[in-house]
Every structure is written in structure tokens, then in C-alpha cells.
Amino acid sequence: MRISRRELLSGLSLIGLSAGVFGGRRGALAATGDYRALVCVFLFGGNDGNNMVVPVDARYADYAAARRQPADGGLALPLDQLLPLAPASGAAAYGLHPDMPELQQLWDAGALGVLFNVGTLVAPTTKADDAAGRVPRPQSLMSHQDQQNQWQTSMPDRPVRSGWGGRIADGLPAASLPPLVSVAGNVLFAAGERSQPLAVPPAGGPAFGLSGFDASVGSRAIRAAMDAVRGLDLDNALVQSVAGETVAAFAASGALAPVLAGTGSSTDALFGPQPSAFGKQLLQVARIIEARSVLGASRQIFFVSLGGFDTHNDQLNRQSKLLADLSPSLSAFHAATVQLGVDSQVTTFTLSDFARTLQPASGGGSDHAWGNHQLVLGGAVRGRQTYGAFPTLALGGPDDFSTEGRWIPTTSTDQYAATLARWFGVTPGDLASVLPNVGRFGTDDLGFLG
């Protein structure tokens, strides 16, 4: 395939991202009437997928040769410690990182799927395409900030100010509560072209409401003045934006504050007596899902995050600790959805900046790369299966655009996002307004959701 940047850009301009295009979709998702939720788990820093899912067949030798032994500052995980991901029949071809036994169990239970070598792509790209410059690379490949943004926008060929989560939310019918809720602050994924997400604190975090007010005359007068003042003096765009966040916060606080404080939550115990900071985000999501009827929510998209994956050194220890947080926390969250009877209506999926070099770096770490493996979890997932093509683990090999083991993705973020969006209820006709580039790639349904 030969695509110039000019052609790509002109194609984009046809699609556009105006409110008009999105306006046509309003109500398209409302018809089904049931509840569905997407939970985006962003692993900030670039999770080393090469050590999260490792071949345990003959290819393990390639892996061990390139990753080198820990005694020499290498990163190879011992074969006998990997947790086999056995398919429904036959021998396991892959193993999971040893600190993820909970997710291995969910694999065995059919709730976990693995996607191989997904990444930001402007268009389908082979090694020959890349070497010859026939397909442009994503802008600022291997820069954390840019790749984090591009995973969230799925538009690696130009900067945009909305994420694909927000653009899905743009098409949802009006509801009393914004459909997109981040438990990890303001993020690009959640920003729509028209819709505004809500950001809420994690479980055990700060109150989602004002403290110190009572029914006294003085207290009520301050509250009344506060409500009035935030509608005044809006001559500056930045002040307006602050006022907008404030209005949204106050509008949601009444219904949401008790939910976020854990009132009526039945799933807290599943997260253990002392959930991690990441677990507290997922617990908060579980609480909101449990209160979905009270909150009048039929479609929700959540964003949570776990940081620290930029393992340039001491990777074996550091990634180990992170995955030992990720695995039980995701497992507890899945158990919560089972207990709430919505496990087949909630799909959880991972994103991350990029993969890391297969070749170790000085200091027992690895550097920035490109295509990466991701996890999808939930009752609707066609689990116990892998999706996509596993890269050849050879430095400078057919999937490596460098000599350090940086995989050219064989599945695009567009295809990944499209599969999730379609399951969530975005119609095929509306898909291009959520994911303008998706038409450049083969299929918009990778088949991991049933």
C-alpha cells in the first residue's frame, strides 16, 4: 500500500469532526434498553507486554536469547514460572507473567482474552512499507505523551482534542449523569467533541461535595452566593471553563456523593481490607455500576489508570509489583460485576503508551517501542483465546523496525476500539464518526466480544 500524508489528510477532512456529524447519532445507542459499560484501564508509562505474555512453546528460546538472563542484567522470565494460558483444547502456547495468577484463573474461566501487537497506526504498515517511508509513522512515535494521547484519540496522524471514549459518549442520549466518568482526573480519552466527562475521586478519596455547610442562615447564604457567583464575571474563557467544571460538579454531586462514599455498596469487601490506590479506582467504578438504576445510567464509560510502567531500569522488580496490583484488582472488579449480575454487560480493557524494547537496556530495564499486547476482560469476552498475530521475537526480525525489538503493530488501535464500540452499541454507520481512520484497516470487529 502506498499512501501519502496528503492523501490521508484529505481523507480526514471529508470525515470531519464537526458537531453536525455527531449530532446525527443522538439516540442511536438508546434503543437496546439494557445496561452496558466499558472500563478503560490505562497503564501509564508503557507496559512491557513482552514480559506480560510470553510464548512457552519452541519460541521461548528466541525470547530468552534476546531478553538475556537476569544475572547479566537481562529480563528473561524463567519458563517454569510463567503461568500457562491453556486454550480450551490443546497445549498452551503462551504463558502469563508469574505475578498474574488471578488473571490466569479468569482466562481459564473464559473471561479473559489477549490481543497481540496492537498499536497506533496511520494505516496498515509492513516492515517494507515503514523502511521505504510508504506509510507515515504515527507522529512522535516513542514519545510517552504523544503515544498516550494517540492511544486515547486513535488518531495518530494529527492532534485532536477529543478521545474515542468521549466521542462514543457524544452519541449517547442525554442523561442526568454524564455517561463518561474518569476516576483518574481529566484525560483525553474522556473528552468528547460535545460531551463533558465527569471526574470523580477514588474510593476513600476526598469528598465529592462541599464540607462544612449546615442549615444555618449564614451557611445557606454562603451557599446561595456561591451558586450565584459562579454564573457571574464570565468574560474570560478560562474562567468560563472553570465555571463549567464547577457547574457539572455541583449538578452531579447530589446523586453521586452518597454512591461515591460507599453508601449501599455491596462489593467493597471483594477488594480486600486494604485495596491499592488502583483497586480503589475500580471499587469506585463498581459502586457507580451498582447504583446505575438510581443514577439513571444505561450506558457508561469509565477510565481508571495505573502508572509506573516506564521501566527503564530494575524492570523485573518494578513490573512485577505493578502486575501484582493489576491482576488482583482486575479480578476483584470482575468478581464485583459477577456479584452484581452485570459481568456480561461490563467489558474492561487495557491501553498503554507503547511496548518496550525486547533487548534490555543498561540497568536492567528496557526502552520505548511500539506495538504491544493488551488484555480484555468480562463476561461478554470470548475468552481463553488470543487475537491477532504474535510478533517474531527476533532483534531486527520481520516485525522489528529497529534492531532492539520494537514491533510494528499488526492490529490498529482503531480496530481494537471499534470492536469495543460496536459491542457497546455504536452502529456500523456511526463508527467512522467515533473512529475516523477505522476504514483504512481490514476489519472493524476483531471478534473478541460476543
Partner 1 sequence: MTSPVLRIAAAAIVLAGCSSHPPPSGTAPLTLAPDAVRLAAQATFGPTVAMVREIERGGAEGWIDAQLALPPSDLGTYPVVADSVATVCPPGAPATCYRDNFTPFLTQAAFFRNAIAGPDQLRQRVAFALSQILVISGDEVRANYGLAEYQKLLLRDAFGTYRQLIEDVTLSPAMGRYLNMVNNDKPNPVKGTSPNENYARELLQLFSIGLVQLRPDGSVVTDGTGAPIPTYDQDVVEGQAHVFTGWTYPLQPGAPQRTHNPAYYLGQMVAVGANHDPAAKVVLGGTQIPAGQTPQADLAQALDAVAAHPNVGPFVGKQLIQHLVTANPSPAYVARISAVFADDGHRVRGNLGAVVRAILLDPEARGDTRNDPSYGRVKDPVLLLTGLARALGVETDGVYFANAAGALEQPPYASPSVFNFYPPDYALASGLLSPASALLDSGSVFTRANVVRKLLYAPPGPDATVSGATGTQIDFGDLAPYGGDAGALVDSANALLLHGTLSAAARGKIADAVNAQGSTDPANRVRAAAYLVLTSPSYQVER
Contacting partner 1 (CB under 8 A), which of 12, 175, 210, 340?
Answer: 210
Which residue, 365 or 378, has its beta carbon nearer to partner 1? 365
Asked if 182 is part of the footprint of partner 1 (rule: CB under 8 A), the reply reads yes
| Residue list 32-71, contact with partner 1 (CB under 8 A) | 44-45, 66, 68
Q: What is the DSSP string of 266-296?
A: S-GGGG-SS--HHHHHHHHHHHHHHTHHHHT
> With binding defined as CB under 8 A, does residue 83 bind partner 1?
no
Closest contact distance (angstroms) between CB of 199 and partner 1 is 3
Decide: is 313 part of the binding site for partner 1 (CB under 8 A). Answer: yes
- In this complex, which beta carbon is closest to partner 1, that of residue 252 or of residue 438? 252
Rule CB under 8 A: is residue 368 a binding residue for partner 1?
yes
Cα 211-216-221 angle, rounded to 5 deg: 80
Q: How far is the CB of 271 from partner 1 (least distance, A)?
A: 20
Closer to partner 1 at the Cβ: 406 or 422? 406
What is the closest distance, in whole angstroms, from the C-beta atom of residue 312 to partner 1 in the complex? 4
Q: Hey, is 436 helix, strand or coil?
A: coil
Q: How far is the CB of 356 from partner 1 (least distance, A)?
A: 11
CB of 72 to partner 1, least distance (A): 4
100: which 3 cell numbers?
498474574
Q: Compare residues 145 and 274 and give the one whose CB is closer to partner 1.
A: 145
Among 186, 266, 317, 443, which residue sits at the site for partner 1 (rule: CB under 8 A)? 186
360: contact with partner 1 by CB under 8 A: yes
Chain length of the chain: 450
370 binds partner 1 (CB under 8 A): no
Question: What does DSSP assign to residue 363?
Answer: T
* Residue 334 in grid coordinates: 470482575
- For helices 237-260 and 277-290, angle between their N-to-C axes, nearest 10 degrees: 80
CB of 352 to partner 1, least distance (A): 13
Q: Is 214 in the site for partner 1 (CB under 8 A)?
A: no
Q: Which is nearer to partner 1, 9 or 174 (CB)?
A: 9
Contact of 378 with 337, CB cutoff 8 Å? yes
154 within 8 A of 414, measured Cβ to Cβ: yes
Least Cβ distance, residue 151 to partner 1 (angstroms): 15
Q: Quick one: which of 26, 59, 127, 312 contacts partner 1 (CB under 8 A)?
A: 312
Set of cell numbers at residue 43: 497503564
Interface pick for partner 1 out of 105, 339, 385, 402 (rule CB under 8 A) = 402
Q: How far is CA 446 from the centre of its chain?
A: 16
Choice from 61, 173, 174, 233 touching partner 1 (CB under 8 A): 233
Strands of the sheet with 94-96, listed across from one edge: 53-55, 94-96, 83-85
Interface size with partner 1, residues (CB under 8 A): 84
Q: Which of 446, 399, 449 is nearest to 112 (CA)?
A: 449
Q: What is the 3-state secondary structure (H, E, C) of 301-314?
A: EEEEEECCCCCCCC
Binding to partner 1 by residue 26, rule CB under 8 A?
no
Using CB under 8 A as the binding rule, whether residue 225 contacts partner 1 is answered as yes
How far apart are CB 419 and partner 1 at their closest, in Å?
A: 27
Q: Is 6 in the site for partner 1 (CB under 8 A)?
A: yes
Separation CA 306–CA 352 (nearest Å): 10
Handedness of CA 243, 255, 203, 39 (dihedral sign): negative
Q: Which strand (E) or helix (H) includes residue 413?
A: helix 413-424
CA torsion sign, 360 to 362 to 364 to 369? Answer: negative
